[in-house]
């Protein structure tokens, strides 16, 4: 049982052989889109009416992920979401994946609850079609071909940027669906310490501590974190494969992060990042050992995973209008899992990148980038260690003139084990008013075959083609001092999806493939709409999102597994003096999975915070307050109602 490399999302495989009715092939549901558009425009009109003159915000966040150089979201054609530290601390989310799923356009699938293997779908695409970066460094398993979200610690994160839509023209392979970039905490100002403790139901506990600051030309930040839970059985009784074991499948995670920087002046910085996360979890499975090879689901299956990252980067201004940046990094994803037989999958990824930005006057800014990546995989399942190299060159032009802004990207990837790939992106934004913009963006994308797709014994086939896609999106964005609203319509066609081929005649002649193989067999159509609205009014902070998705296999018209047609969230925070109360609700529609229809789910979270004194605060959270029956994937289960009580401390040294 190779659980660490079981693909969670299987985008290429339809969940049900049932064909959709003819009307389901329509790009969108007109009434839903009209409602979404009406909601956005109504919010904009109400905000404009309520806001005083001159209240249009000039403090739009500057983001890094949508382009190669920091750019205001007001100038981006790309759809980028920013989750800052304040949002993280005010959220009831207990993991990175749970935080992200509350954004429009992102859905989650998980083999149990927090700490278990997790997949995130951006706009219905597979988790392996998303690039995850930590401070610019790519992380994740090259054997599985997808990021390991369950290894990430929420406490060490300063902010997250999510690019929803094509990103291959900037980030290469796997950015078919988008990019999730995590920025760790950085020191600034006087030395400052933080600490937090929390305990909850199911034997759950969290602890974290940090120290950060700056002294002269040096800045530093250290973060430590620990989290554990006894959990419940990850599987429900009577699962289809007979793997259920009534024991608890808990987890523990430890993390450490050290970041430092040297800034001789305010035009350049030399930075270093060291990070390690260790996750240990239990899960239900079966082993089939000689001499009888009978199924045995009684052992205590465990997975031990480590994610390590080291990076050194320099960025600064050069003579004239040039800006430069270089980075060298290594990331390691190492997982051992099993019971009597332990399987290991280890990815080592070395990266070297450099880029140069030149201002061209009215034409905007031209950025050129070079990147070299060396990936190596070692596994107890592979006959030999495998590797690939890739060298890529990127050109990007961004600029603005009056109400119009534009961006264009072109990238060429030259990998060692599949065909070269060229991807491009072109888009622009037009400010209809100081508060309202219209955006249009199109691009081409690709995803490289994973090492499992190419080399796993009895499954992988060398010579597979990369998955490719074409994406087009249009959107409206509204921003004032009190309200932000956005509506995006998108369509993404993906070809040559790699999936399981059961027809023996289409696989290599080797008897090892008697049960099937990997093959480019499918095409997928991903289209839908995302709507988000945030509004602040006095002591109130309100947020809502709505996601409508059509994700289908174009051969059969069957809906892709674990993708809900609708998902929505809403949250409200109320602050009064030293108190803050909040509530959030997440509704996920029904979705197919392995021949079964997973029921729709609605979860309600409640929280209260009390600032006892300066630097001391208490927090209480009630997660899944209605004790909703959660099935994040077929036959798996989430936790029931869970109460948390915690304390946070902070101060200056």
d(CA 532, CA 64): 21
Output phi, psi for 565, to 5 deg. Answer: -70, -25
d(CA 102, CA 542): 13
d(CA 532, CA 545): 4
Is the model's pLDDT at 352 over the cut of 80?
A: yes
d(CA 535, CA 541): 6
- Which residues lie below 8 Å from residue 175, measured CB to CB, with a gap of 6+? 129, 130, 131, 163, 166, 167, 168, 445
- The structure tokens listed for 437 are 């913009």
pLDDT score at 51: 42
Q: Please answer whether residues 67 and 76 qualify as being in contact, where contact means their C-beta atoms are separated by less than 8 angstroms.
A: yes
Helix (H) or strand (E) holding 442: strand 436-447
d(CA 169, CA 146): 19
* pTM higher than 0.85: yes
The answer to whether position 144 is within a domain reads yes
The answer to whether position 414 is within a domain reads no
Q: Please answer whether residues 146 and 125 qualify as being in contact, where contact means their C-beta atoms are separated by less than 8 angstroms.
A: no
Residues paired with residue 531 on neighbouring β-strands, in sequence order: 487, 546
Q: What is the pLDDT of residues 166-190, one digit of tens each?
A: 899 999 988 999 999 999 999 999 9
Is the model's pLDDT at 513 over the cut of 60?
A: yes
d(CA 107, CA 588): 8
User: pLDDT-derived band of residue 35, with 50, 70 and 90 as boundaries?
Assistant: very low
pLDDT score at 7: 40
User: pLDDT-derived band of residue 44, with 50, 70 and 90 as boundaries?
Assistant: very low
Q: What is the pLDDT of residues 583-610, one digit of tens each?
A: 999 999 999 998 999 999 999 999 999 9
Is the model's pLDDT at 555 over the cut of 90?
A: no
End-to-end CA separation in angstroms for the chain: 51
Is the model's pLDDT at 23 over the cut of 60?
A: no
The answer to whether position 416 is within a domain reads no
The closest of 140, 411, 117 to 279, measured between CA atoms, is 117
d(CA 36, CA 204): 39
Q: What is the pLDDT of residues 476-511, one digit of tens each?
A: 999 998 999 999 999 999 999 998 888 899 999 999
The answer to whether position 99 is within a domain reads yes
The closest of 158, 140, 157 to 149, measured between CA atoms, is 140
Coil, helix or strand at residue 481: coil
Name the least confident of 47-61, 322-336, 375-389, 520-534: 47-61
* Longest alpha-carbon distance in the chain: 81
pLDDT score at 424: 97
User: pLDDT-derived band of residue 521, with 50, 70 and 90 as boundaries?
Assistant: confident
pLDDT score at 38: 42
pLDDT score at 59: 63
Is the model's pLDDT at 80 over the cut of 80?
A: yes
Q: What is the mean pLDDT of residues 364-368?
A: 96
Q: What is the mean pLDDT of residues 558-578?
A: 95
The answer to whether position 164 is within a domain reads yes
Q: Please answer whether residues 261 and 287 qualify as being in contact, where contact means their C-beta atoms are separated by less than 8 angstroms.
A: no
d(CA 9, CA 550): 16
pLDDT score at 56: 40
The answer to whether position 351 is within a domain reads no
pLDDT score at 384: 84
Q: Are strands 323-338 and 596-598 parallel, antiparallel or unpaired?
A: unpaired
Residues paired with residue 161 on neighbouring β-strands, in sequence order: 82, 181
pLDDT score at 475: 96
Q: Please answer whether residues 597 and 589 qualify as being in contact, where contact means their C-beta atoms are separated by less than 8 angstroms.
A: no
Domain count along the chain: 1
Residues paired with residue 417 on neighbouring β-strands, in sequence order: none
The answer to whether position 264 is within a domain reads yes
The answer to whether position 69 is within a domain reads yes
Q: What is the mean pLDDT of residues 21-46?
A: 40
Place of tokens 């084990």: 417
- The structure tokens listed for 3 are 């659980």
User: pLDDT-derived band of residue 419, with 50, 70 and 90 as boundaries?
Assistant: confident
User: pLDDT-derived band of residue 148, with 50, 70 and 90 as boundaries?
Assistant: confident
Here the CATH number for the domain that contains residue 34 is 2.40.170.20
Name the least confident of 15-29, 71-85, 132-146: 15-29
Q: Which residues span the domain enclosing 316?
A: 3-338+360-407+425-652
pLDDT score at 64: 87
d(CA 22, CA 32): 18
DSSP one-letter string for 173-203: TTTTSEEEEEEE----SS-EEEEEEEEETTT
Percent residues over pLDDT 70 in the chain: 91
- The structure tokens listed for 275 are 């990070």
Q: Which residues of 464-487 are buried (b: 16+ CB within 10 A; e: fewer)?
A: bbbbbbebbbbbbbbbbbbbbbbb
């Amino acid at each position: 049982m190779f659980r660490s490399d079981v693909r969670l999302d299987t985008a290429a495989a339809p969940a049900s052989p049932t064909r959709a009715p003819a009307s389901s092939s329509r790009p969108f549901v007109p009434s839903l889109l009209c409602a979404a558009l009406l909601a956005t425009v109504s919010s904009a009109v109400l905000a404009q009416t309520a806001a005083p003159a001159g209240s249009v915000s000039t403090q739009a966040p500057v983001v890094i992920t949508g382009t190669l150089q920091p750019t205001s979201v007001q100038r981006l054609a790309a759809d980028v979401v920013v989750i800052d530290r304040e949002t993280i601390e005010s959220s009831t989310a207990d993991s990175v994946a749970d935080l992200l799923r509350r954004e429009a356009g992102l859905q989650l699938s998980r083999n149990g609850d927090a700490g278990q293997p997790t997949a995130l779908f951006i706009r219905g695409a597979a988790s392996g079609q998303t690039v995850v970066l930590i401070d610019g460094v790519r992380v994740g398993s090259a054997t599985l071909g997808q990021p390991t979200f369950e290894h990430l610690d929420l406490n060490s994160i300063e902010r997250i940027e999510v690019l929803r839509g094509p990103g291959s023209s900037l980030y290469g392979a796997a950015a078919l669906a988008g990019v999730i970039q995590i920025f760790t905490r950085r020191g600034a100002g006087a030395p400052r310490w933080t600490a937090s403790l929390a305990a909850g139901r199911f034997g759950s506990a969290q602890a974290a501590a940090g120290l950060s600051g700056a002294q002269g030309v040096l800045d530093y930040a250290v973060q430590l974190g620990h989290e554990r839970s006894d959990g419940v059985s990850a599987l429900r009784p009577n699962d289809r494969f007979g793997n259920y074991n009534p024991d608890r499948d808990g987890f523990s995670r430890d993390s450490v992060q050290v970041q430092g920087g040297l800034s001789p002046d305010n035009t350049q910085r030399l930075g270093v990042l060291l990070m390690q996360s260790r996750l240990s979890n239990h899960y239900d499975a079966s082993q089939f050992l000689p001499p009888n090879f009978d199924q045995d689901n009684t052992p205590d299956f465990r997975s031990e995973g480590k994610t390590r990252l080291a990076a050194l980067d320099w960025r600064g201004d050069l003579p004239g209008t040039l800006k430069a940046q270089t980075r060298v990094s290594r990331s390691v994803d190492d997982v051992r899992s099993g019971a009597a037989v332990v399987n290991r999958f280890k990815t080592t990824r070395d990266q070297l990148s450099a880029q140069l930005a030149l201002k061209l006057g009215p034409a905007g800014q031209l950025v050129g980038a070079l990147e070299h990546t060396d990936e190596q995989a070692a596994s107890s399942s592979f006959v030999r260690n495998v590797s690939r190299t890739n060298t890529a060159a990127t050109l990007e032009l961004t600029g603005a003139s009056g109400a119009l802004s534009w961006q264009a990207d072109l990238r060429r990837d030259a990998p060692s084990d599949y065909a070269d790939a060229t991807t491009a992106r072109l888009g622009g934004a037009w400010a209809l008013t100081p508060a309202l913009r219209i955006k249009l963006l199109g691009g081409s994308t690709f995803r490289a075959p994973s090492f499992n797709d190419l080399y796993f014994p009895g499954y992988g086939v060398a010579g597979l083609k990369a998955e490719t896609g074409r994406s087009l999106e249009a959107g409206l964005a509204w921003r004032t001092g009190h309200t932000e609203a956005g509506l995006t319509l998108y369509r993404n066609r993906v070809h040559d999806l790699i999936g399981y081929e059961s027809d023996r005649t289409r696989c290599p002649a080797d008897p090892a493939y008697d049960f099937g193989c990997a093959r480019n067999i499918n095409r997928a159509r991903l289209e839908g709409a995302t709507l988000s609205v945030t509004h602040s009014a006095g002591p109130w902070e309100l947020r809502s999102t709505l996601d409508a998705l059509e994700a289908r296999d174009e051969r059969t018209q069957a809906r892709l597994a674990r993708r809900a047609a609708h998902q929505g969230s809403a949250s409200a925070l109320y602050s009064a003096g030293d108190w803050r109360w909040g509530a959030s609700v997440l509704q996920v529609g029904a979705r197919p999975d392995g021949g079964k229809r997973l029921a729709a789910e609605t979860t309600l979270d409640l929280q209260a915070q009390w600032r006892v004194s300066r630097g001391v605060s208490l927090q209480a959270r009630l997660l899944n307050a209605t004790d909703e029956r959660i099935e994040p994937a077929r036959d798996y289960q989430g936790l029931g109602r869970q109460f948390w009580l915690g304390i946070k401390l902070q101060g200056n040294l």
